[in-house]
Amino acid sequence: MTLTFIILIACLLASTGAKWSYNGPDGEHNWSSNYPFCGGAFQSPIDFQTHLLRYDSNLPPIQVQNYNLSTNEQLTLSNNGHSVQLSLPSHMYISSLPYKYSAAQLHFHWGSSNQLTGSEHTVNGKQFAGEMHVVHFNSDKYPNISMAVDKHDGLAVLGVFIAIGEFNPAFEKFFKYLNGIKYRDQKIQVPAFNIHALLPSHLDEYYRYDGSLTTPPCYPSVLWTVFRRPVTISQKQFLALATALYASYAQESATVPLHGNYRKPQLADNRVVLVSFKDGLHGILSAASPFQRKQVIQKLLVGDLADLADEGLYQLLPKLSPQSGNDKKLKKTKKQEHWSQATQKQQWLKNKVPSNSGYSLSVGKNTPTPWNMGTFDTGKEMCFVSLEENVMHQLERYHAKGLMVETLKEVVFPELNLRSYLHCRSDLDLQTIRKLIQGRSRDEATELEQSLAEAMLKKMRRQINQHKYPKMEATIGHPQATVPKDFNSALTYNRPQRVEWED
């Protein structure tokens, strides 16, 4: 009962928490001071750079149900001081995801009258005029969005790029009521309409990745689906949105315009972006299958780490896959024969613990229990509010409250990385590998780490060489890399410090 009370209080504080904005002293560069997850891992939005993309032929077209609402229904249109928000009934839902995700609301991010760029996600640095987010919660597991918002599988958001072009009658269904919500906390009722008309015509082409809320408290609880093709609104419609609203209350003497309400791109954090399309993308990699990824984790838990260090690095670092004609063929040893695909499958089935999620991992009786306590189940609940409270409590014991953000990264990142890796939406990080091999033979673990560090250093050098030749760099799409001055730094998990953006 006490724990439940703490969590409820924490949720209440998060929903009515510290003041935040996109600009000024409460701008995004300072969000993590009051909302630690904003400085943590798996944050959104991100830039969909070519080298992050992985084609997945198993991604189905997005299917939405009950989006064509009756005009007899009433929807609440509101100005929450950060965006325009339209409430949605929960009988609207996405039916093409592992869980049923029911609709809660949609809202917008946009630029300003003199800056016609305001989307949160970008494509190879290109920013669109605006972006619409249709927010859904996991109604198979949670009764409402308030209970789902801080769970690792709680939310699914459909992102829609907005470009300036032809007049859009669907958006006009509620744009014409914007003058009724000019000031913060103003709300009006508007007739419902066909929400499906707000989406692009092609729902089979999209980007998919694991990320976060793009506003405080920034919980990394969102399965993102961002459609490739934008919808258009006219310049007149865009200017109406960008100039009609205020972030301040009606009674305030100094009015604050509501525009430029978008967060800057965040670190990729070893994530990859699955895409459902291949056309227009040259040399794009395909995502490894979930079964192959489970094999890799099984090897880390119960396999021969020395063998993996000698010959299997390409399985841990997929971007280092041998290229035909350039690298020597991998030699097959007796140990490798033991870990042939058929044997791996047999070993996996023998050690597997049944799980509804289909992603359980277990170790043998005589194997030391790793960090994930012998079984990793992606269906296991992970509550970010509870985790934040626990970390805060531990830090206060040592009078180290200022370490909240960095500690949350260390605590949350490996689990998020492993979950995302098993769903093919991340590469496996060195810190996660370290966690997985805790308790294994120290000599084997050290050899594996050293081999991974050497492989990572070779990769950095290759990227530098590629950067020297613009044509090659443009084809492959890798950004410039820098070699650490200290070779041993490659062994240390040390993600880049977050940039403080100027407002």
Dump pLDDT digits (tens) for 260-272: 999 999 999 999 9
How far, rounded to the nearest angstrom, does the alpha carbon of residue 54 sit from its chain's CA centroid?
15
What are the helix and strand counts (H, E) for the chain? Answer: 15, 17
pLDDT greater than 50 at residue 148: yes
DSSP 195: G
Task: State residue 312's pLDDT score.
Answer: 56
The answer to whether residues 262 and 299 belong to one domain is: no
pLDDT greater than 70 at residue 336: no
Structural domain includes residue 4: no
pLDDT greater than 80 at residue 456: no
Task: State residue 309's pLDDT score.
Answer: 66
Residue 214 and residue 120 in contact, taking contact as beta carbons nearer than 8 Å: yes
Q: Which domain holds residue 468?
A: 289-324+333-491
Task: State residue 410's pLDDT score.
Answer: 87
Share of the chain above pLDDT 70, in %: 74
Task: State residue 10's pLDDT score.
Answer: 43
Least confident of 310-314, 410-414, 437-441: 310-314
Per-residue confidence at 401, pLDDT binned at 50, 70, 90?
A: low
pLDDT greater than 60 at residue 244: yes
Task: State residue 494's pLDDT score.
Answer: 40
| Rounded average pLDDT over 84-107 | 97
Task: State residue 353's pLDDT score.
Answer: 35
Least confident of 144-158, 159-173, 452-466, 471-485: 471-485
Strand partners, 208: 225, 274
pLDDT greater than 80 at residue 111: yes
How far, rounded to the nearest angstrom, does the alpha carbon of residue 203 sit from its chain's CA centroid?
20
The answer to whether residues 83 and 190 belong to one domain is: yes
Least confident of 109-118, 418-427, 465-474: 465-474
DSSP 82: S
| Rounded average pLDDT over 407-414 | 88
Dump pLDDT digits (tens) for 177-221: 999 999 999 999 999 999 999 999 999 999 999 999 999 999 999
The answer to whether residues 219 and 166 belong to one domain is: yes
Structural domain includes residue 14: no
Tokens for 288? 């490894």
CA distances from 265 to 115, 229, 233, 481 (A): 17, 19, 24, 19
| Rounded average pLDDT over 126-139 | 98
* Catalytic residue set: 82
Find the angle CA(277)-CA(283)-CA(288) to the nearest 5 degrees. 70
* Total length of the chain: 503
* Average pLDDT along the chain: 79
- Phi, psi at 65, each rounded to 5°: -120, 145
Predicted TM-score of the model (pTM)? 0.79
| Rounded average pLDDT over 245-256 | 94
pLDDT greater than 70 at residue 493: no
pLDDT greater than 50 at residue 327: no
Structural domain includes residue 284: no
Task: State residue 53's pLDDT score.
Answer: 95
Residues 6+ apart with CB under 8 A from 287: 54, 55, 56, 272, 274, 424
Dump pLDDT digits (tens) for 33-55: 999 999 999 999 999 999 999 99
The answer to whether residues 250 and 305 belong to one domain is: no
Q: Which of 236-250, 272-286, 325-339, 363-377 has the highest mean predicted lDDT (pLDDT)?
A: 236-250
The answer to whether residues 61 and 165 belong to one domain is: yes
The CATH number of residue 256's host domain is 3.10.200.10
Structural domain includes residue 66: yes
pLDDT greater than 70 at residue 475: no
The answer to whether residues 295 and 247 belong to one domain is: no
Q: Which of 17-21, 335-339, 347-351 has the highest mean predicted lDDT (pLDDT)?
A: 17-21
Query: Number of structural domains, the chain?
Result: 2
Per-residue confidence at 394, pLDDT binned at 50, 70, 90?
A: confident
Task: State residue 500's pLDDT score.
Answer: 34
Structural domain includes residue 359: yes
Distance CA 150, CA 314 (A): 35
Distance CA 288, CA 424 (A): 7
The answer to whether residues 318 and 452 belong to one domain is: yes
| Rounded average pLDDT over 150-160 | 97
Structural domain includes residue 5: no
Task: State residue 340's pLDDT score.
Answer: 42
Strand partners, 137: 102, 155
Residue 86 and residue 77 in contact, taking contact as beta carbons nearer than 8 Å: yes
Structural domain includes residue 11: no
More confident: 404 or 482: 404
The answer to whether residues 236 and 297 belong to one domain is: no
pLDDT greater than 90 at residue 92: yes
Structural domain includes residue 154: yes
Per-residue confidence at 160, pLDDT binned at 50, 70, 90?
A: very high
Signed CA dihedral, 35, 263, 249, 103: sign only: negative
pLDDT greater than 80 at residue 310: no
The answer to whether residues 361 and 223 belong to one domain is: no
- Phi, psi at 101, each rounded to 5°: -110, 115
Residue 41 and residue 411 in contact, taking contact as beta carbons nearer than 8 Å: no
| Rounded average pLDDT over 414-423 | 92
Q: Which of 13-17, 19-23, 356-360, 492-496 has the highest mean predicted lDDT (pLDDT)?
A: 19-23
Distance CA 347, CA 363 (A): 10
pLDDT greater than 50 at residue 14: no
The answer to whether residues 82 and 198 belong to one domain is: yes
Annotate 458-473 with b (16+ C-beta within 10 A) or e (fewer). Answer: ebbeebeebeeeeeeb
Give the gyration radius of the chain's Cα atoms.
24
Residue 239 buriedness (CB in 10 A; 0-12 / 13-18 / 19+) = middle
Half-sphere exposure of 238 (CA within 13 A, CB side): 29
List, in sequence order, the alpha helices (H) in 28-79. Answer: 31-34
What is the helix, strand, coil percentage profile of the chain, to 5? 35, 15, 45
The answer to whether residues 300 and 257 belong to one domain is: no
Find the angle CA(306)-CA(448)-CA(285) to the nearest 5 degrees. 105
The answer to whether residues 367 and 464 belong to one domain is: yes
The type of residue at 328 is K
**Strand 155-164 with 273-275, pairing:** unpaired
